[in-house]
Amino acid sequence: MTSDEKKAFLLLKSVIFHYHGLDEDEQTILDETAAELDAQAEMQWATAFIEEDYFNAFDRARVFFRGVGETLDKATKIRYITQVWQSNEKKGYISEMEAMAILRVAEDWYVEKELIAMIKM
């Protein structure tokens, strides 16, 4: 995984977790993910991205994702979306707003059918 791919994945996970305000369990999941990917610098970048304009972070991230989405293959996009969904399940719940946000990114990346099929399983 390149540094840009790590940034995209960690920003996706972070922006979804920040949707309602980041809690302790979500921070732990983000820290674990950054450690697994050896991506502490990319995690700092994602955090700074969100903090730059917290209220508009999701919309700004979608613009970023559209650009990055052009460089990722479909299987990678599906893997990122699926892992973010599963991370939300790991914390014990997925709010309707978080689910809709994940679906919006999946739609932007043209993988919403695959996400919906995974959710139904």
pLDDT for 77 equals 94
pLDDT value of position 29: 92
- Could you give the CA distance from residue 96 to residue 80 in angstroms, rounded to a whole number? 19
Instruction: State pLDDT tens for residues 21-63.
Output: 888 888 999 999 999 999 999 999 999 999 999 999 999 999 9
Beta strands (DSSP E) in the chain are none
Q: What's the pLDDT tens digit per position in 50-103?
A: 999 999 999 999 999 988 888 899 999 999 999 999 998 888 888 898 999 999
Under 8 Å between Cβ of 18 and 57: yes
Say what the pLDDT of residue 89 is. 86
Q: Is the pLDDT of residue 121 over 80?
A: no
- Cα angle: 90, vertex 58, 89; to 5 degrees: 10
Q: Which two tokens stand for residue 53?
A: 């304009």
User: Tokens 């940034």, residue?
Assistant: 7
Nearest C-alpha neighbor of 14 from the set 65, 71, 78, 72: 65
